[in-house]
Structure 1
Amino acid sequence: MTGKPSRAGSLRRVLLVVGGVVAVAAAVVVSLAFLADSSSDLEKEKNCCWSEGATPAWVSRVTGLKIPVEASDVRVGYHSGSRYDTALMAFTLPDKKADEYLAQLTPEGSKMIENTNPREKDYSPAVGFAHLGIPEPETLVEGTRMGNVCRGDVDTPDGKKIQYCAKLFAHRFTTGSTRIFTRTGIEPSLTPPPAKPKA
């Protein structure tokens, strides 16, 4: 014989449903707070800890990556991080000079590859070239090549000077001109020279 549900049973079910809704809502709030904190931390890292004293000559010497005399529009940045520091360098070369430069940094038997899997246009890494006022090379497709080089990889005059591992990008952004990008990870033990006092 089936009777009507007891008031206690109905109340129990209502409490379970309400409890479930509250638990889900709490989980959503915690998740949103975590995402907000992560986003805030990323923004802080992007805007923090860039050294004003990192000159092209200093970054080149520390990384071992030469800046050719023919280079124009030279831009550098040095970011101090909690786990490692990052040195950024970018400059423009005539196409032929860019190819010669990259050949010195490409291990024998390998070659730079095209960027067939680009990042979205709004890609914004914590340590990005946007700080230098130029696009992130990972977002560029047409005329873009990528590669890596580490100390000991290349037995060329320029290759022997490399001190750390670096990501290399080359972007032929206009007829006759290629922009070279380098991103080098460095143990956080170096201190860039102090920024020159403003006149």
Structure 2
Amino acid sequence: MKNRRGAHLLAALTTALLLVSCSGCDQGDGPVAEGRDYQWDKEAGASDASAFMNVAIPEGATQTKGAVQINPQEDVYLLTFVTSEKTAEDIAEDLRPQEPLKAQKTDFAPQGELFAHLGLPEPQTLKGVRWAGVCPPCVSDHRRKKAQWIDIYVETLQADRARVYLQAF
């Protein structure tokens, strides 16, 4: 009799814990609902990503988009825009990478879909895209003291235009 009462108590406790952990599961945009441990900051955009990376959006840039993905350990900041090829290269150089922009192999899948959130393909999947990465603290770039890492991808478009993809954490 005592074991049966204990089993019922354990079942009730388990059910209560399950209900509490699933509260909000039907909202559709929470991390639990989609089986992930992150969420998108619905109020953050290009200006927030630009400020975090300390990268100015060039005057005359078009198709500017940005987002912030909130993660348990470190947030991811995304910024993209279309500008002149020269300006894109200048931005990459200003990041102070150890190596200049170089062709990126496209024979691997990106980790997750970040830029898809902005309606764009992942830059790692694009043919002819060039990449550079930088650790601002490693190169003593005090202008970017909030960022631990910044990836820049430059996709050449038409008529001296390029799409810049920036990703930082």
Give TM-score scaled by structure 1 length: 0.59
Q: Hey, what does 2:118 align to over in structure 1?
A: 132
Deviation at 1:85, TM superposition (A): 1.2
Q: Hey, what does 2:41 align to over in structure 1?
A: 51
| Structure 1 runs not aligned, ≥5 long | 1-39, 186-199
CA distance in 2, matches of 1:153, 1:177: 31
Letter in 1 for 2:118: L
CA distance in 2, matches of 1:153, 1:84: 18
Matched-pair contact (CA < 8 Å) for 1:72–1:91: yes
Deviation at 1:42, TM superposition (A): 10
Letter in 2 for 1:172: T
Q: Hey, what does 2:162 align to over in structure 1?
A: 178
Q: Hey, what does 1:20 align to over in structure 2?
A: none
Matched-pair contact (CA < 8 Å) for 1:171–1:179: yes
Q: Match for 1:113 among 102, 122, 133?
A: 102
CA distance in 2, matches of 1:58, 1:101: 17
CA distance in 1, matches of 2:133, 2:101: 8
Matched-pair contact (CA < 8 Å) for 2:92–2:132: no
Query: Cα 1:82–1:70, aligned 2, differ >3 Å: closer, same or farther?
Result: same
Query: Cα 1:148–1:161, aligned 2, differ >3 Å: closer, same or farther?
Result: same
Matched-pair contact (CA < 8 Å) for 1:172–1:179: yes
Query: Cα 1:154–1:104, aligned 2, differ >3 Å: closer, same or farther?
Result: farther
Question: How many positions carry a matched residue from both structures?
Answer: 137
Query: Cα 1:153–1:140, aligned 2, differ >3 Å: closer, same or farther?
Result: same
Deviation at 1:135, TM superposition (A): 0.6
Identity percentage over the alignment? Answer: 21
CA distance in 2, matches of 1:182, 1:59: 9
CA distance in 2, matches of 1:172, 1:41: 38
CA distance in 2, matches of 1:79, 1:85: 6
Matched-pair contact (CA < 8 Å) for 2:133–2:151: yes
Matched-pair contact (CA < 8 Å) for 1:106–1:112: no
Query: Cα 1:107–1:115, aligned 2, differ >3 Å: closer, same or farther?
Result: closer
CA RMSD, 1 decimal: 2.7
Matched position secondary structure for 1:45? coil
Deviation at 1:133, TM superposition (A): 0.4
Query: Cα 1:107–1:153, aligned 2, differ >3 Å: closer, same or farther?
Result: farther
Query: Cα 1:180–1:42, aligned 2, differ >3 Å: closer, same or farther?
Result: farther
Render the CA deviation track for 1:36-67: whole Å, top value 9, x for unaligned.
xxxx9795439x61111113222211222222
Matched-pair contact (CA < 8 Å) for 2:46–2:78: no
Give TM-score scaled by structure 2 length: 0.69
| Larger RCO (CA within 8 A; separation ≥ 6) | 1
Matched-pair contact (CA < 8 Å) for 2:105–2:124: no
Query: Cα 1:42–1:104, aligned 2, differ >3 Å: closer, same or farther?
Result: farther
Matched position secondary structure for 1:146? strand
Q: Hey, what does 2:134 align to over in structure 1?
A: 149
